[in-house]
């Protein structure tokens, strides 16, 4: 899914767009199978009689409520969680009805580290911890697919951003970067 262009600056490009690791959907899939199977079995076991239709409707209603809570909500949460690395910043957006997000400029990031358990190493997932200048606490992004690769990509992008900024500053000082004269020439 392409990230909305309205959130990007004119010279900014998406380098990598991630959702949480696909294995986070394993629990909702198992819940779906258990709920549908249990509801089907329960509805089939209802004895014949006048109340058979009412009992089956109750079983169906409970199953639908469980599906919303244990399947639909986690899937929507997964689908609406975005980790986006651009040429200028890291964007984090999450939420279904109420949303929150954070943008961290690459120039403000001071440290990027990742952590993986043995299981996460096997499935190529992990947790990224991003520290940025001026913030009191680190930003922790969990269930990142290919967390070690993303950490290396972020470090590479931080270096490229620093080089780009240095070239822009050098162009500004020489007077050819922004089409204006050297700042001291105006005096």
pLDDT band of 165, cuts 50, 70, 90: confident
DSSP 8-state symbol, 143: E
CA distance 36 to 49: 23
Residue 30 has pLDDT above 60, yes or no: yes
CA R_g for the chain: 25
- pLDDT single digits (tens) 90-110: 999 999 899 898 889 999 999
Contact in structure between 145 and 78 (CB atoms under 8 Å):
no
| C-beta neighbour count of 158 within 10 angstroms | 19
Contact call for residues 113 and 129 (beta carbons, < 8 A): yes
Could you tell me which residues come within 8 angstroms of residue 182 by beta carbon, excluding any fewer than 6 positions away?
A: 173, 174, 175
Residue 82 phi/psi, 5° resolution? -125, 135
For the chain, how many residues are written? 187
- Predicted confidence at residue 182, as pLDDT, reads 46
pLDDT surpasses 90 at 181:
no
Tell me the percentage of the chain whose pLDDT exceeds 70. Answer: 88
């Amino acid at each position: 899914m392409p990230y909305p262009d309205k959130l990007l600056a004119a010279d900014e490009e998406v380098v990598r767009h991630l959702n949480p690791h696909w294995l986070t959907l394993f629990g909702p899939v198992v819940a779906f199978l258990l709920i549908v199977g249990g509801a089907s079995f329960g509805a089939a076991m209802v004895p014949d009689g006048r109340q058979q239709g009412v009992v089956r409707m109750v079983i169906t209603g409970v199953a639908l409520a469980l599906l919303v809570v244990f399947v639909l909500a986690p899937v929507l949460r997964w689908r609406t969680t975005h980790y986006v690395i651009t040429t200028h910043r890291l964007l984090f957006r999450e939420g279904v009805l109420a949303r929150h997000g954070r943008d961290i400029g690459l120039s403000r990031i001071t440290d990027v580290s990742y952590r993986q358990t043995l299981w996460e190493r096997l499935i190529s997932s992990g947790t990224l911890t991003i520290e940025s200048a001026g913030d009191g606490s680190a930003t922790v992004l969990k269930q990142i697919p290919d967390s070690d690769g993303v950490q290396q990509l972020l470090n590479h992008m931080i270096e490229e951003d620093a080089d780009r900024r240095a070239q822009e500053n050098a162009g500004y000082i020489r007077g050819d970067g922004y089409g204006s004269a050297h700042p001291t020439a105006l005096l």
